[in-house]
Structure 1
């Protein structure tokens, strides 16, 4: 997975001097995300995302985060259709917050609301929702944007805590999913981590009880169940490719 700012172009801090006459015309065109094959997913999103995506993990040490797999090749998002629509019932919050994003200091103590000025919905003709009113005060729309990003940031921190605990329990292992392109070429999707069922079974009872008490166990099971969705990703490929499958079990799609 590339940097979290991959879908952003010209990012500038939102302020009344620069953006006093700016409006945002939102739409259902997600072409801005057509070249990203995975994006971060917050833990709170697992129940909504597990039916549409494979939820895996990316990163190392204290930087591990859940992500959803959206393509099997780099620079490819198979959930963005030719007309720019999103081909799934649930759109991850990482995508929905665009074109806005928080920029933070190195220690994360200060957050600054930023906007991708390259977004096609940005305009100074009054189309859509204004960022500031005639008095230079932020509009209700911009207030809702800030509230959404603050909520996202809170869930981001909770998700980090969840992943750090999983890392401490040493339940991760590297994932490799084999698939076949329409040309017949075989490839393996790597660079992600999954939770090992065997390592999960070996967790001490007290740690398992703690995971159950804070809903962590439910999240783990949603992750494991979601791995069945790798074939859903491939169904969006031209001339449908298929995941290599030797049996009828979900485990056959993923090699460790």
Structure 2
């Protein structure tokens, strides 16, 4: 199956035969995402996400996507509390679509709906929303899930086009964030890219106009503006009690000079999405 794994553990094709009596209680606990430090983001989400999270770009040269950074360490999500609640106003669509996900068949032309049966909200006691009615027909809930994922897939493809433009214009550069603690410890978060401001300003007018008309220029400045939220993570780490003597000194965001620091943003997100 071709899909973005992250917190998906047992993604199974949805069928009336297998899931006729299955119900899903979603939107209550987000523990499934407690060990990921970033999740993919689509371009249409930039305006809301930029108000709370750093938005960066991650992935290999042939597959770069925006991600929101959620933690300063590889298996850390600072936006989930001990009860599994999401501590942020905006929840990325990638998280909200769980436990459902699309994959494609071998031809790459047909989308297949999957559900992660390991999700704690899946049950056969009628808690939440059923996928099929007593006659084996899709419920309104399942239809709304399909519509949401179809919409998400379209937004994913549009975002991929945006990232392809950034790469074609050579605007992305490797960066790293340094978190300075009172103890003297310096935590590094690397493996991500940001847009180079100077290269952006030096673009020919025709390229800038094209980005403006496609709303890509707006997304780019939202991305650059969002980087200030790396500093907010210091307060979140202190609140979690993980490092009681955290400095109030702003973090540094610098050009990445190596690719082997132990803390990597987007590392969990380097997997492939079903493509149209």
TM range (shorter): over 0.9
- Consecutive unaligned residues of structure 1, counting only runs of 5 or more, are 246-251
Deviation string, structure 1 residues 197-235 (Cα, Å, up to 9, x no partner): 011112111101111111111000000000000122232
Higher relative contact order, structure no. (Cα contacts within 8 Å, ≥ 6 residues apart) = 2
Q: Go from structure 1 to structure 2 and tell me whether the alpha carbon gap of 1:85 and 1:20 turns closer, same or farther (over 3 Å shift).
A: same
Q: Is the partner of 1:65 in helix, strand or coil? A: strand
TM alignment of 1:97-176, pairs within 5 A: 97-105=97-105, 108-176=108-176
Give the Cα separation in 2 of the matches to 1:79 and 1:108.
Answer: 35
Contact 1:178–1:243, Cα closer than 8 Å, also in 2:
no
Q: Is the partner of 2:236 in helix, strand or coil? A: coil
Contact 2:183–2:245, Cα closer than 8 Å, also in 1:
no
- Measured after TM superposition, the shift of residue 50 of structure 1 is 0.3
- Consecutive unaligned residues of structure 2, counting only runs of 5 or more, are 256-276
Asked if 1:42 corresponds to 2:77, the answer is no
- Structure 1, 229-238 or 134-143: larger mean CA deviation: 229-238
Give the Cα separation in 2 of the matches to 1:243 and 1:108.
Answer: 49
Q: Partner of 2:51 in structure 1?
A: 51
Number of aligned positions between the proteins: 248
Q: 4+ residue stretches of structure 1 with deviation over 4 A?
A: none
Q: Is the partner of 1:188 in helix, strand or coil? A: strand
Q: Partner of 1:7 in structure 2?
A: 7
Q: Is the partner of 2:66 in helix, strand or coil? A: strand
- Structure 1, 31-40 or 226-235: larger mean CA deviation: 226-235
Give the Cα separation in 2 of the matches to 1:218 and 1:204.
Answer: 17
> What RMSD in Å do the two structures reach over aligned CA positions?
1.6
Contact 2:57–2:193, Cα closer than 8 Å, also in 1:
yes
- Measured after TM superposition, the shift of residue 131 of structure 1 is 0.5
Asked if 1:253 corresponds to 2:242, the answer is no
Q: Go from structure 1 to structure 2 and tell me whether the alpha carbon gap of 1:60 and 1:8 turns closer, same or farther (over 3 Å shift).
A: same
Q: Go from structure 1 to structure 2 and tell me whether the alpha carbon gap of 1:240 and 1:125 turns closer, same or farther (over 3 Å shift).
A: farther
Q: Go from structure 1 to structure 2 and tell me whether the alpha carbon gap of 1:204 and 1:106 turns closer, same or farther (over 3 Å shift).
A: farther
Q: Go from structure 1 to structure 2 and tell me whether the alpha carbon gap of 1:22 and 1:197 turns closer, same or farther (over 3 Å shift).
A: same
- Measured after TM superposition, the shift of residue 189 of structure 1 is 0.8
